[in-house]
Amino acid sequence: MRALVIDDSRAMRAILGKILKELGFEVTDAGHGREGLERLQQVGKPELALVDWNMPEMNGLEFIQVVRADHAYDEMRIMMVTTESEAGAMISALEAGANEYVMKPFTKDVILEKLAILGIEL
């Protein structure tokens, strides 16, 4: 299983990457949405993308909208991982095509629960 982690915080990419690697994922990361799109071109379709909302160049919501417009990525599950706690933000992310929503700070157990909800078997 492969995962793409997109977050402008190097520390957050490291934390999420460590959790996913411990679960057996091969992890690629990117510092913003535009770089995330480049990674998709380079490595192909991962099963999972964890995307931050607030990033420079292209934010997470814009990334999701671009990816969901391309049916080649219909099977990729997207989890928005963000500090945005407003109900409206969650609704916007889900309407744009995110499959799940996680608020920072989170624990490994929260990520595990969300993966189970997404039907990702580990």
pLDDT in tens, 71-106: 999 999 999 999 988 889 999 999 999 999 999 999
Half-sphere exposure of 50 (CA within 13 A, CB side): 29
For residue 122, is pLDDT > 80? no
Angle at 78 between CA 26 and CA 50, to 5 degrees: 55
The confidence score (pLDDT) of residue 121 equals 79
**Which residue ranges form the domains of the chain, and what is each CATH number?**
2-116 (3.40.50.2300)
pTM for the predicted model, two decimal places: 0.96
- CA dist list (Å): 53 to 22, 41, 120, 122: 24, 21, 22, 26
The alpha carbon of 66 is separated from its chain's Cα centroid by a whole number of angstroms, namely: 14
Q: What is the dihedral of CA 81, 116, 20, 39, to 10 degrees?
A: -60
What is the share, in percent, of the chain residues with pLDDT greater than 90?
93
The confidence score (pLDDT) of residue 46 equals 97
